[in-house]
């Protein structure tokens, strides 16, 4: 039970706080679902560079984590999520999504199969009522374990080397694989689209893990990063974020804001043949009729980020909105994720209207935009096993 004076700390420190506080000399914090999370450690550009050229640590602890276990766990999760859970081997992870009855996305996240009948679901939003209601009729237990488990994302081309130096041999670990070392678990997962790992530990041992990794990583310039740098990396990788690129269905105040996985470009993960899963009938119908909007990746002319821009057809008709965008220092392009009207999702007549604030005055730009496949940045090192030596 939470302390009765919990209201005195509405924004809680993460298990890594003693180290993060010391390093974050700019005190550039941002709240992440009730936790204190670094927006940056003072230099976003250096942090982005380290993701692509070195190694970085990002505090993942606030990520919501549920433990789902029991003889009915596989069946329950197969009914809950759109992917095939029975086919997920023990010791593997997959990226997945789940929908409400109308086929609208509730959230996306990663599902870890820890044992034959024990899973961990990691996601952005809180879903306990939905998970519990989805567990009715299945022999399964569900508990939130966010507080118990601390986690770090170790990402970047040198991440395998850092792990090796820290005593974790991950040379044979394939993408989406899990390796255990005592209480510590390493998964080859991440949100950067680069070579990278996530390291999970009981919260009580968080600082020891931090110190071990930072010490081992010093030769590679291992540095902590905040959410600002991560956001650039994840856009380059084409990943979507709840609240930015889609409104979780149970939070949509305006009905038409909820979107389906088909609209969000997640249709590839749906297993239509595994039997019933939540929202399947609605999605089947949508597959026939098409969606209302589509999330697409845009490459925009010029070198100005297009955050919040409106997308036009032939510079005149509004056909969409940019949901996430950045100037990508790695690809040297202006990249964006955008919602487009369904019938214009493959149009080659798209323009983006950018208002760039330069010394208290807006410069209005109308730039050509091309729909391109995601990820924008596809790095072979992300998949190579054993990972290359960097």
Partner 1 sequence: MPSSDIVVIGGGANGLACAIRLARGGARVTLLEAEPEVGGGATTVEFAPGYRVSGLAHLVHGLDARLVAATDLAGQGFRATDPLPTTLPGADPLTVPAAGGGPGDWSTLMDRLGRHATRLAPLRSLPPPRLGAGNDWRALTGVGFGLARAGRADLRDLMRLILINVADVAEDELSDERLRALLAFDATLGAWAGPRSPGTLLLYLNRLALGGARAPMGGMGRLAAALRAAAEGAGVTIRTAARVTAIAVAGDRARGVTLATGETLRADHVVSALCARTTLEGLVGPAHLDTGTVRRIAAMPFHGGAAKLHIALTGAPGFGADLRHRFVLAPSVDAVERAFNPVKYGEVPDRPVAEVLVPTAHDPSLAPEGHHVLSVIAQFAPHAPKDPDAAKAAFTRAVLSVLEQAAPGLSGQIAHVETLMPADIAARYGLRGGSWHHGDLAAERMLFLRPFPEAARYRAPLPGLWLASAATHPGGGVTGTAGWNAAEALLKEAA
Partner 2 sequence: MSWDAVIVGAGHNGLVTAAYLARAGMTVCVVERNDWVGGAAVSRELYPGFTYSNCSYVCSLFRPEIMRDLELPRHGLQVLPYEGGAVLKEDGGYLAMFRDHDANRREFARHSPRDAEAYDRYARDVLRHCRFIRPLLMRTPPDPVSLRPRDLGELAWLGRRVLEMSEAQIAEMVRFWTMSIADFLDEYFESPVIKAYLAVSAIIGTALGPMSPGSAYVLLHHYMGDVDGNVGAWGYARGGMGAISAALRASFEVAGGTVRTGSGVRRIVVSGGRATGVELDSGEVLKARRVISGMDARRTYLDCMAEDDLPAEFVGAVRRFRTRGSSGKLNIALDAAPHFPAFPDGAPMLKGDLHFTDTIERMERAYDDWKDGRFSSDPFQDLMIPTMIDPTMAPPGKHFVSSFVQYAPPRIGGQGWTDADRDAFGAACLDQIERFSPGFRDRVLHVEVRTPRELEAEVGLTEGNIFQGELTFDQLFFNRPVPGYAQYRGPVEGLWMCGSSTHPGGGVMGAPGRNAAVEILRTTKHDRSGVRDAYAVL
- State the residues that interact with partner 2 by CB under 8 A: 1-2, 4-7, 10-11, 31, 33-34, 102, 126-129, 132, 144, 250-253, 255
Pick what 136 binds: partner 2, partner 1, none; C-beta below 5 to 8 Å, kind-dependent: partner 1
Smallest distance from the beta carbon of 98 to partner 2, in angstroms? 15
Smallest distance from the beta carbon of 241 to partner 2, in angstroms? 18
The residue (of 29 and 138) whose beta carbon lies closer to partner 1 is 138
Q: What are phi and psi of 319, to 5 degrees?
A: -130, 5
The residue (of 5 and 289) whose beta carbon lies closer to partner 2 is 5
Taking the C-alpha atoms of residue 322 and residue 295, their distance in angstroms, rounded to an integer, is 9
The residue (of 190 and 279) whose beta carbon lies closer to partner 1 is 279
Smallest distance from the beta carbon of 122 to partner 2, in angstroms? 16
Pick what 75 binds: partner 1, partner 2, none; C-beta below 5 to 8 Å, kind-dependent: partner 1
The residue (of 102 and 287) whose beta carbon lies closer to partner 1 is 102
Pick what 281 binds: partner 1, partner 2, none; C-beta below 5 to 8 Å, kind-dependent: partner 1
Pick what 127 binds: partner 1, partner 2, none; C-beta below 5 to 8 Å, kind-dependent: partner 2
Smallest distance from the beta carbon of 77 to partner 1, in angstroms? 12
Pick what 128 binds: partner 1, partner 2, none; C-beta below 5 to 8 Å, kind-dependent: partner 2
The residue (of 212 and 292) whose beta carbon lies closer to partner 1 is 292
Assigned token pair, 248: 């979780």
Pick what 180 binds: partner 2, partner 1, none; C-beta below 5 to 8 Å, kind-dependent: none
Nearest CA to 176 among 157, 158, 160, 198?
A: 198
Smallest distance from the beta carbon of 129 to partner 2, in angstroms? 4
Chain residues binding partner 1 by CB under 8 A are 75, 79-80, 100-102, 130, 133-134, 136-138, 275-276, 278-281
The residue (of 33 and 331) whose beta carbon lies closer to partner 2 is 33
Pick what 251 binds: partner 1, partner 2, none; C-beta below 5 to 8 Å, kind-dependent: partner 2
Smallest distance from the beta carbon of 281 to partner 2, in angstroms? 14
The residue (of 87 and 275) whose beta carbon lies closer to partner 1 is 275
Instruction: Quickly tell me which residue has 């931090």 as its tokens.
Output: 210
Question: 346-370: string of b/e by CB count within 10 Å (b at 16+)?
Answer: ebeebbbbbeeeeeeeeeebebebe
The residue (of 110 and 278) whose beta carbon lies closer to partner 1 is 278
Smallest distance from the beta carbon of 12 to partner 2, in angstroms? 8
Pick what 220 binds: partner 2, partner 1, none; C-beta below 5 to 8 Å, kind-dependent: none
Smallest distance from the beta carbon of 374 to partner 2, in angstroms? 29
């Amino acid at each position: 039970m939470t302390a009765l004076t919990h209201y005195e700390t509405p924004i809680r420190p993460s298990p890594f706080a003693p180290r993060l506080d010391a390093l974050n000399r700019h005190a550039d914090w941002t709240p992440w679902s009730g936790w204190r999370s670094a927006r940056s450690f003072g230099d976003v550009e250096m942090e982005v560079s380290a993701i692509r050229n070195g190694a970085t640590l990002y505090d993942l602890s606030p990520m919501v984590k549920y433990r789902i276990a029991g003889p009915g766990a596989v069946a329950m999760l197969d009914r809950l999520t759109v992917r095939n859970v029975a086919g997920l081997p023990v010791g593997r992870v997959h990226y997945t999504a789940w929908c409400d009855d109308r086929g609208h996305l509730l959230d996306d996240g990663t599902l870890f199969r820890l044992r034959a009948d024990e899973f961990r679901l990691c996601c952005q939003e809180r879903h306990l009522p939905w998970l519990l209601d989805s567990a009715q009729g299945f022999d399964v237990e569900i508990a939130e374990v966010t507080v118990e488990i601390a986690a770090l994302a170790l990402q970047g081309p040198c991440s395998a080397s850092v792990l090796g130096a820290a005593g974790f041999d991950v040379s044979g670990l394939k993408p989406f694989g899990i390796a255990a070392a005592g209480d510590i678990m390493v998964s080859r997962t991440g949100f950067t689209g680069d070579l990278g790992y996530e390291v999970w530990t009981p919260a009580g041992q968080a600082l020891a893990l931090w110190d071990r990794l930072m010490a081992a990583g010093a030769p590679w310039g291992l540095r902590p990063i905040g959410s600002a740098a991560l956001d650039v990396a994840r856009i380059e990788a084409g990943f979507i974020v709840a609240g930015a690129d889609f409104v979780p269905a149970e939070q949509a105040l305006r009905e038409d804001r909820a979107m389906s996985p088909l609209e969000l470009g997640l249709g590839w993960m749906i297993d239509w043949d595994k039997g019933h899963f939540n929202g399947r009938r609605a999605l089947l119908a949508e597959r026939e009729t098409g969606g209302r909007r589509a999330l697409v990746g845009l490459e925009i002319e010029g070198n100005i980020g297009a955050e919040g821009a409106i997308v036009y057809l032939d510079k005149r008709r509004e056909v969409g909105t940019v949901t996430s965008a950045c100037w990508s220092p790695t690809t040297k392009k202006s990249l964006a994720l955008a919602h487009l009207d369904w019938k214009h999702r493959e149009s080659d007549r798209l323009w983006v209207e950018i208002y760039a604030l330069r010394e208290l005055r807006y410069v209005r730009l109308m730039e050509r935009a091309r729909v391109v496949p995601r990820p924008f940045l596809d790095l072979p090192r992300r998949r190579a096993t054993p990972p290359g030596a960097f």
